[in-house]
Amino acid sequence: MEPLPDEHNAIVNMEMHLEPVYLGEQINNIAETPPSKRRKKKSIVWEYFTIETVSAGCRRACCKECKQSFAYSTGSKVAGTSHLKRHIANGGCAHVLKNLHLDPLTPFSAPSQIANNSAGPTTDTPKRRYRTASVPYAAFDSDRCRQEIAHMIIKHDYPLHIVEHPWFIAFLRNLQPSFDMVNFSTVQGDCIATYLGEKQRIQSLIEGMPGRMCLTLDLWTSCQTTGYVFVTGQFVDSEWKIHRKLLNVVMEPYPESDSAFSHAVSACLSDWNMEGRLFSLTINQPLSQVGTDGLRSLLSEKNQQILGGQLLLTHCLARSLSSIAQEAFNASQEIVKKVRDCVKYVKTSEVLEEKFLELMQQLQVPSMKTLALDDQTRWNTTYEMLLAASELKEVFSCLDTSDPDYSKGPTVEEWKHVENLCTCLKLLFETANLLTSSTIPTTNTFFHEAWKIQLDLARAATSEDPTINTIAKPMQANFDAYWKSCCLILAIAVVMDPRFKMKLIEFSFSKIYGEDAASFINLVDEGIHQMFLEYVGGIEGNVNQEDAAGLGLTDFDMYIMETTSQQSKSELDQYLEESLLPRVHEFDVVGWWKLNKVKYPTLSKMARDILTVPVSTVVPDLVFDTERKEMDKYRCSLRPETLEAIVCAKDWLGSDGVVATGGGSGDLMNSMVKMEFPI
């Protein structure tokens, strides 16, 4: 080893006898402190470096292995050794790595670790000689790391086998070498443990709900001919907050069978101990008569008090709107394709797009729309493409005359057809957008949307304009099927809105049914009174249970039941006779019933349940999809229990349940109250 220079002796002497000071103070002290006797260098870096004099007053540290030199001192200024430590500790010197036999896939050692691996003496890392912001030390927690890996897989839909992928293993080794790698079986157990922990929380929430549960059933296909029924529950908790939770993913070997949905419902009720608490069922596809009767029988059996099993809704609003929009596009297929080709011609060339924008500015077209190609698996993108192109048709016409390579675009008549198509689709688009809300819309919201669509399409279908007539007629025929099946449920829900009650039913039905409106208004009135009486009938059930317990007050109980029944019956009439509340846009109808539950004890329970019946079976992200969802091949390869665990846990983790959902509608023709809404 070379002897220490005089200036370096002074610094070493200061480090041994002085308290830590600022770096600036050290530099100032160098000039004031006389050199002391030479001492052997103690820092571990000098096992790898030598000091060489480059010129008068300038010295550099030279790596013994790779011969690379670094700044050390210039005059009275000393660079220190931190950058030298980084060179040998962070893998900057390949020769050091080679000599220490370090694997490049393992994390680089800290300075103290390199010292332990070297032949030289070992010392602790020197203390810093200047103040820095303190960083809290967190001990490595292997169990927490495993939990986070499980959460990562669940939330991001990663395959469970990712923990056995070589590059993922290399990443974790470099990140934390002390972590014991997990295999497929281990991480599968961790994911299921996460699911079970979250399930216990959801179970407590369901057990504490004061009302009933509404279920939606969404069927996914797969490449293996099996099906998967996503069973989602919607309910109100004790604080009158609406929740939507994915409860089960049930694998059905024969998804097209008449019993597939019934089996999924029974499995869900048994799994969550909800016997007797089911209120409504909403499914996403028409069933055979056998399948429909089976579900209605199941619903009636599980909940005999509510309209004899009528609350089976066989039309999902999102699916219905998507189907109607697709049929409208198909009926105008040639024109839609011509518009798509025009947009494609402009959007696939930067030069043409700039030219298009220049023409738009020259023509002073007021539209704020931006051209974009559509995704044909999502009908809203096709609608938005047509709408933007229609507003910019003048620009396309000029492009037609100025660009010889531009193929002929739509004619004036065809542009008019596109405008009419967009006008009809706008009704569906605005309604579907409500289903994408981050909050859960209450059922009454969709009566307003449904009756306006029904009325506007009926008017368009009888228009004297043959273009409008041609577009609207098939759309009206399809929406009539939805209106017929869901009208009663939506109407009862809107009666539970104190801003409208029966008045909106009377007004809207007179517009839709004309002279026949009175009979249909009467059907809604009978339906809501029958449902209310069945809620009152719940008191009778409680009385009979108490009498069976041997209290011996049968006559008194019957008296209480009769007087309470009379009082409760007038509760609905009193509500309907009171004045309407002022119409405000932001109105919390569920919150209003919470505030008025003392005034309307029975009616508030009924309102709480009917206002949470879903009108769609799909989550917000899938509202505009035109293709049925299919389970991917990897998840089909998992055990059904594992698949259910990771899919449900994804819905529960980091979620408070406030997600838009929906339900559809049902065949009410066999109800105790005979409802006939003709097409």
pLDDT number for residue 135: 55
pLDDT number for residue 157: 93
Dist CA 8 CA 14 (whole Å):
10
Dist CA 584 CA 260 (whole Å):
44
Between the alpha carbon of residue 256 and those of residues 21, 219, 226, 311, 472, the distances in Å are 79, 10, 9, 22, 32
Phi, psi of 288 (to 5 degrees): -70, 165
* Residue recorded with tokens 């879903």: 614
Burial 537-570 (b: 16+ CB within 10 A, else e): eebbeebeeeeeeeeeeeeebeeebeebbeebee
pLDDT number for residue 111: 40
Quick one: CA torsion of 303, 307, 312, 315, rounded to 10 degrees? -150
Beta strands in 75-226 (DSSP E): 77-78, 213-222
pLDDT number for residue 308: 61
User: CB under 8 Å to 539, separation ≥6 — which residues?
Assistant: 561, 564, 565, 568
Question: Contact at 8 Å (CB) between 313 and 490?
Answer: no
Residue spans per domain, the chain: 46-90, 321-430, 437-532
pLDDT number for residue 604: 96
DSSP 66: T
Q: DSSP alpha helices (H): ranges in 242-287?
A: 260-271
Three-class SS of residue 258? coil
pLDDT number for residue 112: 41
Residue 60's beta-bridge partner residues? Answer: 52, 71
Dist CA 425 CA 269 (whole Å):
39
Q: DSSP alpha helices (H): ranges in 18-130?
A: 23-32, 82-89, 94-100, 111-117
- β-pairing, 312-313 vs 278-283, is parallel
Q: DSSP alpha helices (H): ranges in 514-632?
A: 517-548, 554-577, 589-595, 601-610
* Residue recorded with tokens 């098939």: 474
Dist CA 375 CA 377 (whole Å):
5
Question: Contact at 8 Å (CB) between 191 and 148?
Answer: no
Between the alpha carbon of residue 177 and those of residues 106, 135, 142, 181, the distances in Å are 7, 21, 11, 9
Question: Contact at 8 Å (CB) between 229 and 287?
Answer: no
pLDDT tens for 174-183 read: 988 888 889 9
> Has this prediction a pTM greater than 0.85?
no
Does the CA dihedral 461-628-219-655 come out positive or negative?
Answer: negative
pLDDT tens for 537-596 read: 764 444 333 343 444 555 665 555 555 555 545 799 999 999 999 998 889 999 999 999
Q: DSSP alpha helices (H): ranges in 501-553?
A: 501-513, 517-548
- Taking residue 461's Cβ as centre, other Cβ atoms within 10 Å add up to 19
Angle between helices 445-461 and 501-513 (to 10 degrees): 10
Between the alpha carbon of residue 339 and those of residues 330, 392, 572, 617, the distances in Å are 14, 11, 55, 33
Phi, psi of 586 (to 5 degrees): -90, 90
pLDDT number for residue 106: 41
pLDDT number for residue 35: 46
Q: Which residue ranges in the chain fall short of pLDDT 70?
A: 1-42, 90-92, 94-138, 302-309, 538-569, 655-679
pLDDT number for residue 82: 80
pLDDT number for residue 199: 97
Burial 346-372 (b: 16+ CB within 10 A, else e): bbeeeebeebbeebbeeeebeeeeebe
